[in-house]
Structure 1
Amino acid sequence: MTDIKKFFLNGESYYIKHDINLFELIDYFNYNNYLLVLEHNNLIQNKKNWKNIFIKNQDKIEIVTIVGGG
């Protein structure tokens, strides 16, 4: 039996079959990881920890991108 996990990214629900970490998630959705802030289950996560945090069922992830301008 496959363990399917449901997680939320910016309020939208997604499903995954394989274990992925936050770094892989950022890469999959093609975010520029230099210009964002990532919140995982209500905690801001330091970029150096993204490869060590794997998505679990019902996780809530919020990504805020930083946009420059004048």
Structure 2
Amino acid sequence: MELIINSDKVQVPETVTTVSDLLAHFKLDQKVVIVELNTTILEKSNHGETKLANGDKIEIVHFVGGG
């Protein structure tokens, strides 16, 4: 499946069907992230049930500590 993630076209395996799957695929499932799907910000509680489709536009923002 092809997704547009943070403005880049990215191929992900067909096993990635939900937002939770996508975050796990990129090893972000244990991080604090904000996910926007097709211009709608998703609640974290909805990541597991939100299905992805070919061509979806996703923005993922995660926080990085530092000084």
- Aligned pair count reads 66
Q: Percent identical across equivalent pairs?
A: 29
Aligned to 1:64, which of 47, 50, 61?
61
Asked whether 1:12 is paired with 2:8, we answer: yes
Task: Indicate how the Cα distance of structure 1 residues 17 and 66 shifts in structure 2: closer, same or farther if over 3 A, else same.
Answer: closer
Corresponding letter in the other structure for 2:6: N
Asked whether 1:26 is paired with 2:23, we answer: yes
Q: SS at the partner of 2:53?
A: coil
Q: SS at the partner of 1:23?
A: helix
- Relative to the length of structure 1, the TM-score reads 0.77
- Uncovered stretches (5+) of structure 1, i.e. residues with no partner: none
Q: SS at the partner of 2:48?
A: helix
Structure 1 moving runs of 4+ over 6 Å:
none
2:40: which partner in 1?
43
| More moved, 58-67 vs 14-23 | 14-23
1:15 Cα deviation (Å)? 2.8
- Relative to the length of structure 2, the TM-score reads 0.80
Q: SS at the partner of 2:2?
A: strand
Contact 1:35-1:67 within 8 A present in 2 as well: no
List per-residue Cα deviations over 1:12-70 (Å, max 9, x = no partner).
11234525100010001011544111111111101110111111121000111112344
| Structure whose CA Rg is larger | 1
